[in-house]
A and B are shown apart, each in its own frame.
Chain A
Amino acid sequence: MIVREPVPRAKPRSAVQRLGQATLGSVGEIGRAAMICVGAVAAMRHAFGKRSRGEIVRQLWQCALKSIPVVSVVAFFIGMILALQIGIELRVYNQESLTGSAVMASMLREMGPFMAGLVLAASVGAAMAAQVGTMMVNEEIAALEIMDIDPLRFLVMPRMVAMALTVPMMSFYTCALGVLGGAVVSHTQLAVPWATYFQNAMDFASMKALWVGLFKAFVFGFVIVTVSCYEGFRTSQGAVGVGRATRQSVVTNFLLILIVGYFVTRLFY
């Protein structure tokens, strides 16, 4: 799970061998990342312990409260952009009053969890990978292991609990603020009355869309922490390695949020 030395492999002598080694390497990486996720979930039985509670609160502060400004700006402007683009098209058919419905449906089903996931992956996830990577390089993780303190319980679990709570909360917040941003544009640019916008929006707010969106965000929380900590744990080569881990965690998180998001949607619709 924690990689300190590369797995020795023979030099590939053919394209097939190279492909085989790459496949085995990828499967190994997925396996190690899955073990981090499973190990942290198993460690959640300690989440109510006194010291774990303190660390979870500290992580909630780091993940949620410090992300509010950037999430707010992104959410508000996403709502405004959606309303503007949809409203312009609907105006052709004199249906701009339905803008609220479209914004609400988009935000609840996709944009809310999606944008919250991406923003938190880019900010909190990247910081997590950099912190764990730096700890790896500075031998702090090794020090924990020697003290027989499980890094999954001590480091990963509190972050996972915090992110599993934070991403759904931020997703809901993104939806609310996005709809509000859409209302501002609808009213000022498309001359849709406030009441009409919100009435239409609420008519299209289904509970199923809300719960599926929140579930998706919950899954994103696990994905972000697993990927970020995995990249952190495999960091080597000092500052260069920390930079590489941070970049790789953002790229992988973005891709996985897209892929996992699709499959969760497919599961429910």
Chain B
Amino acid sequence: MIRFENVTKVFGTRKVLDDVTYEIEKGEIFTIVGPSGTGKSVSLKHMIRLLTPTSGRVWVGDDCVSEATGRDLSRIRSRFGYLFQSGALLAWMDVYDNIALPLREKTRMTEGEIERRVMDALEKVGLEKDGAKFPSDLSGGMQKRAGLARAIVTEPEIVLYDEPTSGLDPVTSRRIDELIADLAGRLGITSVVVTHDLHSALSISSRIAMLGGGKVLSIQPPSDFIHSEIPQARAFLDAQYITRRGAWETKTGV
């Protein structure tokens, strides 16, 4: 579905992605983990051509997104939903209008149909009573949930999640995890999740890619990832008190 072919990305003198090659299957939840600055968000931005590789190619289906322009790029982008770290809601519109924006701008739906879709999306993220609020009136977590509602309201084939649970309380985090899993399971949406939250990654992922030093260190299903012997992955797991015995068994025994 999404294929990275020898992708290298250099910012100035810093190589953020170094000859990266991997493929994401249709319908799977592919999670990218790794320390900060190893190119996780940069990878997501390549998938939707917010960034262009210094060398190599990125494919979405049969389309080479890294070389697409104009209408081709628009067509490829219309297959995506994207949840930004900050939510990226337009400050002068209320939550309802923010979520309705892609439907109003890019479809010929009636206001009645738009309302139904928006309310459905708001209900999914638990913000059904907050449609009239402005982004500045929302907490960070609520902004992120509103951003998620906007990402899924067009019912895209692929949703890219950039840190979907960072800054959220544990209950809301698990609710977002369930929503991502539900969207993938029920609608067959291909999901790419960038996160530091390994509890979340282990719970919902089909496969987990570990990035480090601009390289893909491993791509494994959660059951294998938890037993990973790669030092960077091990350090990551240990830092979140996840032992080889089980994802939810912590070092404190809780």
Chain A interfacial positions (CB closer than 8 Å to B): 4-6, 8, 51, 134-135, 138-140, 142-143, 145-149, 154
**B106, A148: Cβ atoms closer than 8 Å:** yes
Pick from A6, A135, A146: contact of B50, CB below 8 A: A146
Query: In angstroms, how far is the closest chain A Cβ from the Cβ of B139?
Result: 16
**B88, A149: Cβ atoms closer than 8 Å:** no
Q: Which chain B residues numbered 39 to 96 have a C-beta less than 8 Å away from chain A?
A: 45, 48, 50-51, 74, 77-78, 80, 82, 84-86, 88-91
**A6, B12: Cβ atoms closer than 8 Å:** yes
**A4, B50: Cβ atoms closer than 8 Å:** yes
**A138, B106: Cβ atoms closer than 8 Å:** no
Contact segment of B97-105, B120-128, B236-244:
B97-105
Contact count band on B? 20 to 34
Contact flag A147-B50 (CB < 8 Å), given A138-B88, A139-B88, A142-B84: no
Contact flag A138-B48 (CB < 8 Å), given A147-B101, A148-B106, A149-B106: no
**A146, B86: Cβ atoms closer than 8 Å:** no
| Residues in A whose Cβ lies below 8 Å from that of B150 | 143
| Residues in B whose Cβ lies below 8 Å from that of A147 | 77, 101-102, 105-106, 154
A-B contact pairs, 20 of them (CB 8 A): A5-B11, A8-B10, A135-B91, A138-B86, A139-B84, A140-B88, A140-B90, A142-B84, A142-B88, A143-B82, A143-B89, A145-B77, A146-B82, A147-B77, A147-B106, A148-B74, A148-B77, A148-B78, A149-B102, A149-B106
| Residues in B whose Cβ lies below 8 Å from that of A140 | 88-91
Closest B residue to A141 by CB, please name it: B88
Pick from B11, B84, B104: contact of A143, CB below 8 A: B84
**Alpha-carbon distance A139/B11, docked complex (angstroms):** 19
